[in-house]
Structure 1
């Protein structure tokens, strides 16, 4: 699917039904909850090294200036690297999360359409796609940071297209980062209210059910918030199965 075709389908997208998408998301969750749990665990595991790196300045402060921690007056020279590491960690967390969610969405398509294929969680962390994952994560990070600096409220608006960037990339990785971003904002503008509502409700349901499952259940239910995005894209744009099947078969970008 070309960018022009994608834009045309977004412009002509039909009205979406909140209840229908939500119910189908629940049914799909029954098929992919194990894969969603694997995605969540992999995401956490891959972030552990970045957690360690982020807290190295605080560890250094405890070793070389323990009195500062005890007095509650930390050495700001050591705190600057800590905050810089937090920014770096936030960015790499977005990279890892973006790539694994996109791969999970491909698996959701396989389960939804009863296709046979490899469940490759690292599909988008490989060479043909990794550069675009970095670019899209950087774009998402920059937009989120700018929206936060603008008194936070704009963040509620941009969170919808930023979230949709993931599903558009998952099924259109041949497009450029700028084209994916434009398509995400166009789809986000057209379907903002229902997308925001589904994100909010699915997130709340995942948290409540996870807590009722003795908190550890949050790991199981966390992936549920991704599933409405799949159906928003499927019902708005459709799945070009021939195009998706060609992805990764020796195509270079």
Structure 2
């Protein structure tokens, strides 16, 4: 972990990065991580599925019950929203934040798995749940609140701001993953600093890698997307690695593993 001033200085003094190099390195790293990426996607689905069902089943059931002759019309939807209780609305809000926090924690854990595989360190499936520890998981809720607040503010300022802040917000996960002791404000500050510094590069990499992961996944009979979707995390990780890097002991570990 680095202090916030060290992070900001490294970002300010960072060298220019090459799109092609990072994209190529993402492919090479993905060769090491594709299996863990697949497990990460499956675990994410299995962990969040019960909460998703609890959120949507009452919604679907109540609308069908209010529909006439088994058909769901606009009047049934209108009646459902009119009859929604305050408790259910509160539950929906809490569920959305809970799903976001769970997803955020799993993604942060996956970034740590990517780092270990990148440095040829041993990994285990439980590493994905690293941030489910009490001292970290509570912070994921706070970070999600901050992220939602920033997104809502950007939406209130029309569409271009949300289009812009999506890049800095994409770094929240990776900065939290490797600097979990920073405060929420410091994580947001570092994310925006890095996102602003490398905005165009990051946007291009996220767009191309996301599009490629989806196309290749669909070509593999649709089910292939479970294997390819994790690819989109690799460019973000490599940008963090090249700009901020890791503690010196990781470099020593890498040299030791290479010698072995």
Q: TM-score, normalised by structure 1?
A: 0.88
Query: 1:53–1:85: 8 Å Cα contact kept in structure 2?
Result: no
Q: How big is the shift at 1:91?
A: 2.5
Unaligned runs of 5+ in 2: 252-260
| Matching residue of 2:49 | 48
Q: Residues 3 and 158 from structure 1, CA distance in 2 versus in 1: closer, same or farther, beyond 3 angstroms?
A: same
**Aligned pair partner of 1:147 in 134, 139, 154:** 154
| Matching residue of 2:75 | 73
Q: Counterparts of 1:153 and 1:86 in 2: how far apart (Å)?
A: 28
Q: How big is the shift at 1:156?
A: 1.4
| Matching residue of 2:257 | none
Q: Counterparts of 2:160 and 2:91 in 1: how far apart (Å)?
A: 26
Number of aligned residue pairs: 244
Query: 2:63–2:72: 8 Å Cα contact kept in structure 1?
Result: no
Q: Counterparts of 1:237 and 1:88 in 2: how far apart (Å)?
A: 34
Q: How big is the shift at 1:142?
A: 2.0
Q: Counterparts of 1:39 and 1:53 in 2: how far apart (Å)?
A: 22
Q: TM-score, normalised by structure 2?
A: 0.86
Unaligned runs of 5+ in 1: 245-253
| Matching residue of 2:60 | 58
SS in 2 for 1:67: coil
| Matching residue of 1:3 | 4
Q: Counterparts of 1:146 and 1:198 in 2: how far apart (Å)?
A: 25
| Matching residue of 2:145 | 138
| Matching residue of 2:256 | none
Query: 1:33–1:223: 8 Å Cα contact kept in structure 2?
Result: yes
| Matching residue of 1:37 | 38
Q: How big is the shift at 1:208?
A: 0.6
Q: Residues 44 and 62 from structure 1, CA distance in 2 versus in 1: closer, same or farther, beyond 3 angstroms?
A: same
Q: How big is the shift at 1:86?
A: 5.2
Q: Residues 71 and 183 from structure 1, CA distance in 2 versus in 1: closer, same or farther, beyond 3 angstroms?
A: closer
| Matching residue of 2:255 | none
**Aligned pair partner of 1:94 in 91, 94, 100:** 100
| Matching residue of 1:112 | 118
Query: 2:117–2:123: 8 Å Cα contact kept in structure 1?
Result: no
Superposed CA RMSD in Å reads 2.3
2:185 is the counterpart of 1:178: yes
Q: How big is the shift at 1:83?
A: 6.6
